[in-house]
Structure 1
Amino acid sequence: MSTGGGRTTDSGTADGTDTTGPTRAPIGGTTAWTTRIAFGAAGIGNLYREVTDAEAERALTTAWDRGIRSFDTAPHYGLGLSERRLGAFLRDRPRDAYTVSTKVGRLLVPAPGATGDDLADGFAVPATYRRAWDFSADGVRRSLEASLERLGLDRVDIVYLHDPDDHAEQALNEAYPALERLRAEGVVRAVGVGMNQTAVPTRFVTDTDIDAVLLAGRYTLLDQSGLAELLPAARRRGVSIVAGGVFNSGLLADPRPGATYDYAAAPPETLARAVRLREICERHGVPLRAAAARFPLGHPAVAGVLIGLRSAAEATDAADLLAHEIPPALWEELRREGHLPAAAPDPGHG
């Protein structure tokens, strides 16, 4: 592992930067940054179903061509497949033209002789490895070294502690100090925690010097629980929020019977809320997906949104969502009907 570089700029195109693409936002007080829409790479790790190498490359190429320059992956995604595919795509791109985040907390342990697939953990890949939870200092370094090898990179920009729900004390007392040392050494630019709850991330924000929280599904059109404590604390501490799960695992992308909400079939009352949100959005000429993607960006603590992409069509759609004009009247109606709390900042219209 080697030290990282300095802050990138948006000027010119010699470094491969598309100056017409999504704007960049800094991560905390560091030199790391994110484009306002980042590429969530679980899908190209064969999340739920197989994606070919060619399909993954087309998704990444389309996102790049539309100005998306931030990419989030993890060892967990396809037992390393996501990292390998992302690394292959980035190999010939200028290193300062993009940012990469990955995660630690699950070590991949070879499983010789194993048969079957990894669908029990959500990925359509052969079960050639097993995951071992490890939030020790040694585990953090080993995980990051393995990720760098799969990515073919000498550094990543952001490292998140991945889902330490049942390992909060070890993550706070062992894993976080290890990440802090890596940041001080210049091996990574920014450190944080990625979770789909708010209580443990709030502890990290208030009790440590993390730079970012990847918050999945807890600041969306359907769930604003992050607004109670986490986002205000992050704002006070200068910690950046990257909002993931903005479609709440699919329901806000396409509210229909059988759609998923938080990785399970949506309860009838939640489905009804999503259908009503779609009706309001359509009355204002706005796709529900566009409102869902834009909403988190209204909060000053939110640096960007992370959208999972697996195809060129999805990458095109994600970039279009950011550019879609949203009238202020839409947010006003959502507030009047009680879908948005008064404390939620207006995302604006452009």
Structure 2
Amino acid sequence: MALSGRTVDARRRDCISGRASMNALLGFGVSGPHGARWFAEKKLTRLIAQAIDGGVRDFDTAPFYGDAQLRLGRALRSIGAREILVSTKTGTRRAGLRAVKDFSANAIRADVEGSLKGLGREFLDTLYLHGPAPAEIDAALPVLRALQAEGTVRRIGVCGEGAALDHALASGFDAIMGVFNVIDRRHEGVFSRARARGVQTVAIAPLAQGAFAKQSAPRSASDAWRLARATMRGGARSKSNAAIKASEALSAVESLSPSGAALAFVLQGGLASLALT
């Protein structure tokens, strides 16, 4: 499933410069529910195949997401997908039900080794520090640069929020990843500065954790997971009110559903290079 007449690197340049189509700006986040036992692996493989058939070439995952990373690797191998960009993360791991942070050089190298094996790849297109503080970014930068020099990692980034993204931009990272949608635009400024410098900006939660879905109650385990995650992030009531107001405005957009209009806001607003759904 190669991209006809175009290389992935050329498409990435288009994403950063803003010349790409809407589909080229969409990525697939293989995350929490996709790595859970209640989410059938065959279903995930089918979704990944459908995404690739639809033009999606960017996939993101992390060791923190249960078996999601392993499942993504198996799916890409079984599909025989080519010209695919895969990013993953390091620094945050699960210890039972707890999230444990470790951005030491040894931990990062262990994560990279495990990711390469699990994904079945010779190198990682992008490696993100997963939720670091600014001081942890500084401590991790030497090993990240070493991994780039060794050819194990092509690009380095930071997935986080607030000061961490500002610090990543100031430190010369290749990509930043953070929440950005029509309701939550707290990273508008750093995304704008990053685009001006040619740094890739990756929007997560572009649909605000399903805030614009029509159903009033979760209909599946994955719906319940998204609802729980949105609630855990805090400010659930204010976000719900904001979603209602935004939905009313988005409903006025001709030929698009509120969800479609919300996604178009992220993809066509010029601030996000890529939106992970």
Q: TM-score range by the shorter chain?
A: 0.7 to 0.9
Residue aligned with 1:25, SS: helix
The verdict on how the C-alpha distance between 1:172 and 1:95 changes in structure 2, with shifts beyond 3 A counting, is farther
State the partner residue of 1:343: none
The verdict on how the C-alpha distance between 1:266 and 1:55 changes in structure 2, with shifts beyond 3 A counting, is farther
The CA distance in 2 between the partners of 1:61 and 1:302, in whole Å, is: 24
1:294-319 deviation digits (Å, cap 9, x = unpaired): 21223444211000xxxxxxxxxxxx
The CA distance in 1 between the partners of 2:253 and 2:212, in whole Å, is: 17
State the partner residue of 1:321: none
**2:157 is equivalent to residue 171 of structure 1:** no
Q: Tell me the CA shift for residue 141 of structure 1.
A: 0.8
Instruction: Write the letter of the residue equivalent to 1:209.
Output: G
**2:12 is equivalent to residue 25 of structure 1:** yes
Q: Tell me the CA shift for residue 281 of structure 1.
A: 2.4
Q: Tell me the CA shift for residue 262 of structure 1.
A: 3.5
Check conservation: 1:239, 1:301, Cα contact below 8 A. Answer: no
Check conservation: 1:74, 1:82, Cα contact below 8 A. Answer: yes
The CA distance in 2 between the partners of 1:263 and 1:177, in whole Å, is: 36
State the partner residue of 1:37: 26
State the partner residue of 1:211: 174
Instruction: Write the letter of the residue equivalent to 1:41.
Output: V
The verdict on how the C-alpha distance between 1:263 and 1:247 changes in structure 2, with shifts beyond 3 A counting, is farther
Identity of matched residues, %? 29
Q: Tell me the CA shift for residue 280 of structure 1.
A: 2.5
Instruction: Write the letter of the residue equivalent to 1:64.
Output: I
- The TM-score with structure 2 as length reference comes to 0.81
The verdict on how the C-alpha distance between 1:267 and 1:256 changes in structure 2, with shifts beyond 3 A counting, is farther
State the partner residue of 1:90: 76
Residue aligned with 1:248, SS: coil
Q: How many residues align?
A: 258
Farther off after superposition, 252-261 or 100-109: 252-261
Please give the root-mean-square deviation of Cα atoms over the aligned residues, in Å: 3.0
The CA distance in 1 between the partners of 2:229 and 2:112, in whole Å, is: 31
The verdict on how the C-alpha distance between 1:224 and 1:255 changes in structure 2, with shifts beyond 3 A counting, is farther
The verdict on how the C-alpha distance between 1:257 and 1:93 changes in structure 2, with shifts beyond 3 A counting, is closer
Instruction: Write the letter of the residue equivalent to 2:263.
Output: A
The CA distance in 2 between the partners of 1:135 and 1:58, in whole Å, is: 34
Q: Which has the larger radius of gyration?
A: 1
1:202-223 deviation digits (Å, cap 9, x = unpaired): 11101x12110111x2x21101
State the partner residue of 1:134: 102
Check conservation: 2:27, 2:57, Cα contact below 8 A. Answer: yes
The CA distance in 2 between the partners of 1:301 and 1:155, in whole Å, is: 28
Residue aligned with 1:189, SS: strand
Farther off after superposition, 141-150 or 283-292: 283-292
The CA distance in 2 between the partners of 1:255 and 1:247, in whole Å, is: 14
Instruction: Write the letter of the residue equivalent to 1:188.
Output: V
- 5+ unaligned residues in a row in structure 2: which ranges? 18-22, 219-226
Q: Tell me the CA shift for residue 65 of structure 1.
A: 1.5
Greater than 4 Å deviation, 4+ residue runs? 92-96, 254-261
Q: Tell me the CA shift for residue 146 of structure 1.
A: 0.9
Match of 2:61 among 64, 68, 73: 73
The CA distance in 2 between the partners of 1:274 and 1:10, in whole Å, is: 37
Instruction: Write the letter of the residue equivalent to 1:182.
Output: L
- 5+ unaligned residues in a row in structure 1: which ranges? 1-8, 18-22, 110-117, 122-130, 308-350
State the partner residue of 1:317: none
